[in-house]
Structure 1
C-alpha cells in the first residue's frame, strides 16, 4: 500500500499529454487525492493516445475555491459542498454534479511507542481539541498517563477532514491553536511517526499505508461505549461513528461537454470500486455505484439534448 501512495504522490501535478487541448483539472481533498490519481493513472494506461489529466490537492475548501474561480473541472471533496460554496459557484454559472467515490474513517493516530493510549472517547477529543483547551500533557487527559507534553499534527482549516472532524464529529467551532497543521497528509504521518508524544488525525488510507509507523486509536462514541477501531469492516458496517464519512467528486457540468472529461469521468465511475479499494478506502456499494451511473447518464442525456436543440437545421 505504501508503494502505491508513493507512486500516486509522484504523479502530483504531472500533466499527461501534449498539444493544444486543455487538460482536465482535478483539485481539492488530499483524502480523495489517491482515488483520483489512481483513476488518472489507470485511464492513461487504458486509452489510446495520452489524455491530459492533472490531479492536485489544496484541501476540499481550496479545491472549491479554485472551482469558483473557474480553474478546476473536478473537485475532490471529503465533505459535502457548503451552501456558500454552491451559491458562489452557481452564481457564476458553474453548475456541478456530485458522485460518491468511496467511504473513509478519519483515523486518530499516535506514535507506536505510545502504548498507554488504548482508546479515546469523543468527549475526551472534544476537551483535547477545543479552542482554549488547557490540556497540554497526557496526564491532563488521564491521571494514569505520563506527564509528557502532547504534540498535535492535524490538517489545516481548508481541509475537509478538518471540517468533518472539528465541526461535525466533535461539534466544535474551532480547533485549538497550538498545533502543527499541514495540507499534506504525508507531512502529518511523518510528524507523528517521528514524535513519541504526538497525536493527529487524517484519512484512513494514509494510516493503512503507514501501519508500521503509526498506531490507530480506537474511538468511543460515548464514555461507556465499546471502543471501535478504524477498519475496513467497521467503516463499511457503519459502526465506526462519528468519524466515518462519504467521499465525493464534484464535476462541472460544462466540462462534461468536452469528450476527454466525459470519457475520464465515465472511466472513473465504471471502475470506482477497484480504484477506491486500491487507494485504501471502502468502495461504494453496488447501489451507490448504480446511482452514480444513473446520474451520469442523465447528465450526458441533458448535454446531448441541449446540443441537439441548439444545432441549426438546414
Structure 2
C-alpha cells in the first residue's frame, strides 16, 4: 500500500510539472507573437541588413556620425556612407536596379533628375537634415582679409569681378596674387556658389577646383594667399589650420558660427542653405532597415547637426519629416 501511495504521488507531481511547463511555453509563444506584431509595425523589433548612402561631401560628416551612432544601437545593420558629391551621388541613386538607398545633397534635386527618377519608376523623397553656412576660409597667416563685404568676397571668385590681387580690394593689402579655390562641379556646394551666390556668372579662370574637401583644407593651410569656399562643418573641424572671413552683409561683419547660421533673419542668412538627404521610397518599402534608418535620422538630426558643425532644423521641420515617413507602408 505504501508503494502504491508513493507511486500515486509521483504521478501527480509529474502532471503538475507538465502543466507548468505548458503554461510557460504558451507565455513564450505570446511574447513571440507580440514581437512579430512589433516587427510588422517597425517600431521596436530588431532590423538587419545593409543601408547604402552616397552623395554630398558637405553632408558627409553629419551622415557618417549618424551612421556610427545607429550601428552602435543596431548591431545587425551595416550603414555604408560615401561622398562622391551631390551630382555624382544622384547618378548612383537614380539607377533602376541596385541604386543607393539615400543620396545626400547640398542642393535640391534638379528638374532633369526628377524626370529621370520618374522615367525609372523611382520615388525620391526629400528631407532637410540641417542648415549649413557657406564659409570662406583663409590661411592663418592672412591677417588682412579677415573681414570683407559680401561683394568683395564674391568678386574674388567672379570672372568679371576684376580682382586678381589683394591690393585690388584694398590698396593697403599685399600686392600679391590671390589663389581662389573651391570644390568641383560634382559637389552641390559648387552649384550653390555658382547659381545662388554668383547668380550663374562664370568663375574666375584661375580658380583651383578640387574633388576632396580635405585637399582644399591642406592647400589653404599651406598658402597665405589662398582663399576657398565650402561648408561650415569642414571649417569647424579644421580651425587649427584655417581662419574664416567675417562677412559684412550690410550691418557689420558676421563670423559664420552655429549661432549666426540660419534662415530668414539670422545674421548669416545670405550665405545659409538647407542640406538634404533623398530617400528611395521604393527601397524603403522593401527593406525595413532603410525605413528604420530614415526615422532614426529625423529623430536625431538636431543633436548630430550640432555635433558636426551644422545649425539644427526647427522642431516643426523635424515633425513634418517624421510625418512623411509615417506615410510609408
**2:35 — aligned with what?**
none
Structure 1 contact 130–172 (Cα < 8 Å) conserved: no
Report whether the alignment pairs 1:142 with 2:170: yes
Structure 1 contact 151–199 (Cα < 8 Å) conserved: yes
For residues 291 and 139 of structure 2, what CA distance do their matches in structure 1 show? 43
For residues 267 and 180 of structure 1, what CA distance do their matches in structure 2 show? 38
**2:253 — aligned with what?**
227
Deviations 1:62-105, CA, capped at 9 Å, x for gaps: 11122123422201011111111111122211111111111110
Matches within 5 A, 1:124-163: 124-131=152-159, 133-163=161-191
Matches within 5 A, 1:165-314: 165-221=193-249, 224-236=250-262, 238-257=266-285, 258-298=287-327, 300=328, 303=329
**1:94 — aligned with what?**
122
Q: Indicate the SS of the match to 1:105.
A: strand
User: Paired residue for 1:83, among 95, 98, 111?
Assistant: 111
**2:78 — aligned with what?**
52
For residues 103 and 166 of structure 1, what CA distance do their matches in structure 2 show? 19
For residues 112 and 245 of structure 2, what CA distance do their matches in structure 1 show? 34
For residues 321 and 133 of structure 2, what CA distance do their matches in structure 1 show? 21
For residues 248 and 200 of structure 2, what CA distance do their matches in structure 1 show? 17
**TM-score of the superposed pair, with normalisation by structure 1:** 0.83
Q: Indicate the SS of the match to 1:103.
A: strand
**2:59 — aligned with what?**
32
Q: 126-135 or 115-124, which moves further after superposition?
A: 126-135
Structure 2, unpaired ranges of 5+: 1-47
For residues 91 and 54 of structure 1, what CA distance do their matches in structure 2 show? 27
**TM-score of the superposed pair, with normalisation by structure 2:** 0.80
Q: 229-238 or 74-83, which moves further after superposition?
A: 229-238
Q: Indicate the SS of the match to 2:269.
A: coil
Q: Indicate the SS of the match to 2:259.
A: helix
Q: Indicate the SS of the match to 1:120.
A: strand
1:22, distance to aligned residue in structure 2 (A): 6.8
Deviations 1:222-260, CA, capped at 9 Å, x for gaps: xx5412110111114622032101111100011102111
Structure 1 contact 79–161 (Cα < 8 Å) conserved: yes
**1:72 — aligned with what?**
100
For residues 110 and 80 of structure 1, what CA distance do their matches in structure 2 show? 28
Q: Indicate the SS of the match to 1:290.
A: helix
**1:13 — aligned with what?**
none
For residues 174 and 69 of structure 1, what CA distance do their matches in structure 2 show? 32
Structure 2 contact 49–289 (Cα < 8 Å) conserved: no
For residues 226 and 193 of structure 1, what CA distance do their matches in structure 2 show? 27
Deviations 1:165-198, CA, capped at 9 Å, x for gaps: 2210221333223222122211111111111111
Please provide the CA RMSD for this pair: 1.7
Q: Indicate the SS of the match to 2:122.
A: coil
Structure 1, unpaired ranges of 5+: 1-20, 304-314
